[in-house]
Amino acid sequence: MNVINKAQTNTATKNPCKLCSPFGASLVFKGIRGTIPILHGSQGCSTYIRRYFISHFREPVDIASSNFVEETSIFGGEKNLCEALENVNKQYNPEVIGVATTCLSETIGDDVPLFLNDFLKKKGAEPFPDIIFVSTPSYSGTHMDGFHAAVRSIVEYYSRSRQTESSASLISQAGKSVAVFPNFVSPEDIRHLKQIILDFGMKFVFVPDYSDTLDGATWDKYKKIPEGGTPKDDLLVLQKISSVIEFGDSLDGKDSAGKFLGSEFGSKRYGLGLPVGIDLTDNFLNSLEIISGRKTPDKYIAQRGRLVDAYCDAHKYLFGKKAVVFGEEDMVMSIARFLCEIGMIPVLCASGAKGDKMREISQQLFLEYKNEIIVRTKADFVDIEEESEVLNPDLLIGNSKGYSLSRKLGIPLVRVGFPIHDRFGASRISHLCYKGTQELFDRIVNAVIAKKQSESVAGYTYM
């Protein structure tokens, strides 16, 4: 068996299988209570990111900008950034302002930490929101790099901050608590993960938690900052929480938020793959058993049993079917492992990330297959299309950016991850644990059946 690891070398990128780094940072900031993101760069960057947010989540999203112009690009953006901070504070009255850089400000070499330090010195004793900075040049990473960098910046900032009276009270009441870094998953997935932890009798701190801010209820009046998100007091107790669950295979070998808490405060880190499928979900629940000292609740044992039964019932439809999987590196790896569980072959696994961990896991994952399976890192959709035409898959699994390929090749697309612009309810798509896997599994089976049914001369109505 040969796993073919391909990455672009000297070819031009036309349609990358990724988004920009400030996008990921902005998403994380939207998951912190009372926070407004500011992008230090041109107005177009924040407009582009807002458009993607709104189309996927169907919620109003404000992202401020320091609004570079030609003069700023030459002489630097300190003045623009300070004005943006003052304007955002005046208009939104936030608890926190998250500042992320764009390619332009990084390229000209703006020293943003120095700008912020000088700004706060001038404010003196005047109260001002917390300012959290993260460096996110898109030319050196993907939206997931920006996401993880922002999580770490937030954790570092508050772990080293002075605790308030209310946060100290939370520590004393915490009992069995766990810090969770959930990775880039849907609001529905975050809600489900929180419920599972509650069912183990534990409290939690999620960083980020955009389950309400990006999938909330209808408002009677417009709210400049939506309700929800991880409260500041919860962030201040992170240093006292002894156990950390951090989802994402790609974080092995990287300076993540979970590793920071482990090295600085002795927290025990459980680094897990996103729990898609039975094996990875078992790992997650086993970790919760160790942390909580409790057995897995019966309702999750029952969910697992129903999922195993579904695997058996649908085996005849899926065995040997080929799938192309693309999107965020961690999601691609977890879905590929899940496909192997159900007898499908992930003939192409593609991500816009550099993908060192993706290649390593693929070597272990595909040992049982005699087929050649391609793992493409730094992927472009042009390359994915060329590979798919040769591989002739039965199914595409990924975000809406794969629709044109699906339409061109006549292959069903099962939509997962981000962005999903051409279907409704993206915020409520479940991917994780037995429940989310069951929903994903049913969608995959039905996509395969529907394709076969549509191509049948008889047009059968019974399976």
Q: What is the DSSP string of 209-232?
A: --TTTTS-PPPSS--SS-S-SB-H
> Do the domains 21-140 and 3-13+310-455 match in fold?
yes
Q: For position 144, what pLDDT does the model report?
A: 94
Q: For position 123, what pLDDT does the model report?
A: 87
Q: Which of 52, 28, 48 is nearest to 133 (CA)?
A: 28
Q: For position 198, what pLDDT does the model report?
A: 96
- Mean pLDDT estimate for the chain: 90
Q: For position 386, what pLDDT does the model report?
A: 92
Residue 277 predicted with pLDDT over 90: yes
Angle at 244 between CA 366 and CA 17, to 5 degrees: 45
Quick one: tokens of 385?
């299309």
Burial tier of 144 (Cβ tally within 10 Å: 0-12, 13-18, 19+): buried
8 A C-beta contact, residue 328 and residue 354: no
8 A C-beta contact, residue 369 and residue 388: no
- What CATH number does the domain located at 21-140 have? 3.40.50.1980
Q: How far is CA 82 from CA 114, 115, 127, 325, in A?
A: 12, 8, 15, 43
Please provide the size of the chain in residues.
463
Q: What is the CA radius of gyration of the chain?
A: 23
Q: What is the mean pLDDT of residues 315-321?
A: 95
- What CATH number does the domain located at 165-298 have? 3.40.50.1980
Using omega within 30 degrees of 0 as the cis cutoff, is the peptide bond preceding 208 cis? yes
Q: List pLDDT tens digits, range 159-202.
A: 987 666 555 555 555 557 999 999 999 999 999 999 999 999 99
Q: What is the DSSP string of 241-304?
A: --EEEEE-GGGTTS--HHHHHHHHH-PEEEEE----SHHHHHHHHHHHHHHHS-PPPHHHHHHH
The confidence band for 120, taking pLDDT boundaries of 50, 70 and 90, is very high
8 A C-beta contact, residue 65 and residue 39: yes
Burial tier of 48 (Cβ tally within 10 Å: 0-12, 13-18, 19+): middle
Q: For position 321, what pLDDT does the model report?
A: 95
Q: Say if domain 3-13+310-455 classifies as CATH 3.40.50.1980.
A: yes
Q: For position 1, what pLDDT does the model report?
A: 41
> pTM score, two decimals?
0.93
Each domain of the chain, given as residue ranges in start order, spans 3-13+310-455, 21-140, 165-298
Q: For position 30, what pLDDT does the model report?
A: 97
Q: List pLDDT tens digits, range 34-51.
A: 999 999 988 888 999 999
Cα–Cα distance between 441 and 344 in angstroms, integer? 11
Q: For position 455, what pLDDT does the model report?
A: 85
| Residue 317 CB contacts under 8 Å (≥ 6 apart), including other chains | 445, 448, 449
Worst-scoring range by mean pLDDT, 172-186, 206-220, 276-290, 305-319?
172-186
Q: For position 69, what pLDDT does the model report?
A: 79
Cα–Cα distance between 181 and 42 in angstroms, integer? 30
